[in-house]
Amino acid sequence: MPSLEIHPLSDLRDEAARLLGERFARQRATEPLLPDIDEFAPYLPDEEGVVATRGGAAVAYLAGTMRGDIATVGFAGCAASEPEALRDLYAVLAEQWDASRFSVAVPASDEALIDPWFRMAFGCQFMWAVRETARETDAGVHLRTDAGVHLRRIRPSTPDDLEAVAEFDEILSMLQVRSPSYSGMVVPTRDGFRGEWTDLWDEPETYTLYVAEQDDRVVGHVLLYRRPEGDLRVPENNIDLAQAATLDDVRGSGVGVALTHYALRWAHDEGFRSMTADWRSVNLLSSRFWPRRGFRPQYLRLYRAVP
């Protein structure tokens, strides 16, 4: 068998685009809620990259760049007809990056493409997912719990909810920092969270926020975001479920499910065909909750820290 040769991506962009097109066709055969793309060359990263050839034919490419202190490979950053060659390409690029943390996005359904990364000490850290919007079951206004019947309503959020939504974001951040998520993020002060959310209601064309009230208390929220298209993930006519959280003391009583059904129905009625969501696979709550709500992984973010 001819030996593997490694070239700069800039020398073989057409060949890499062909590999990417083949990879994406396999993805779409498994998950139709991905963008409809004919021409792949424009999606190839304009970043450091390498292509492996064997006997003159391209068999794999890998491209990415440093984002902060993490060498990052995005949705269009790798494809292969000979996945094992990705390990050779990683060996070359990792040395150029001189990084100790690596993050690689791979199609969730492509086991052959995931396997070489697994054998390079990568593990799953994060998932990008999608599902159809739907009218679903009724979100309900009453909730029966062991403690009795609680009046619940879901309503559009207003700036008066700032304190509540800042608290939800704080809850999520604290959860992500703790075991077993270990996000490594610095949790802002409550003032910092307020600052981040204060303009949200000024951008109704970008964000839509609903809150759940129970017994006159805001107990949960769901944030919808018009995530831009233009990558290999977001399909046409999609809305993103950017964040959801509930207070600790109502979890497991149906508030999160009601908010999700409400959001799916609202999106359906607004004419959105699909809803994307993402979560850290190391977050025990969200990584179980979203798949149970019908979200199907599109991509995995694989992560490695050295040593």
Ligand X SMILES: CC(C)(COP(=O)(O)OP(=O)(O)OC[C@H]1O[C@@H](n2cnc3c(N)ncnc32)[C@H](O)[C@@H]1OP(=O)(O)O)[C@@H](O)C(=O)NCCC(=O)NCCS
Pick one of 102, 122, 128, 279: the residue that binds ligand X (CB under 6 A): 279
142-181 binders of ligand X (CB under 6 A):
143, 172, 175
Among 72, 125, 214, 253, binds ligand X (CB under 6 A): 253
- Residue numbers 76-95 binding ligand X by CB under 6 A: none
Give the per-residue contact string, 175-194, with ligand X (x = CB under 6 A; - = no).
x-------------------
Nearby residues of 95 by Cβ (< 8 Å), 6 or more positions away: none
The one-letter code for the residue type at 192 is G
Q: Are 135 and 268 in contact (CB under 8 A)?
A: yes
To ligand X, the closest distance from the beta carbon of 286 in angstroms equals 4
Q: What are phi and psi of 66, to 5 degrees?
A: -75, 125
Torsion on CA atoms 70, 242, 179, 185, rounded to nearest 10: 40
- Among positions 8, 42, 228, 252, the unique one binding ligand X when judged by CB under 6 A: 252
Angle between helices 111-118 and 85-97 (to 10 degrees): 50
Is 257 a binding residue for ligand X by CB under 6 A? The answer is yes
Cβ(194)–Cβ(162) under 8 Å?
yes
Q: Which listed residue (157, 208, 276, 286) binds ligand X by CB under 6 A? A: 286
With CB under 6 A as the contact rule, the residue among 285, 294, 296, 305 that binds ligand X is 285
C-alpha distances out from residue 4 to 117, 147, 168, 220, Å: 18, 67, 51, 54
Q: Give how many residues touch ligand X by CB under 6 A.
A: 21
Query: Least Å distance between CB 255 and ligand X?
Result: 4
Can you give the binding site for ligand X, defined by CB under 6 A? 143, 172, 175, 243-246, 250-257, 279, 283, 285-286, 289, 292
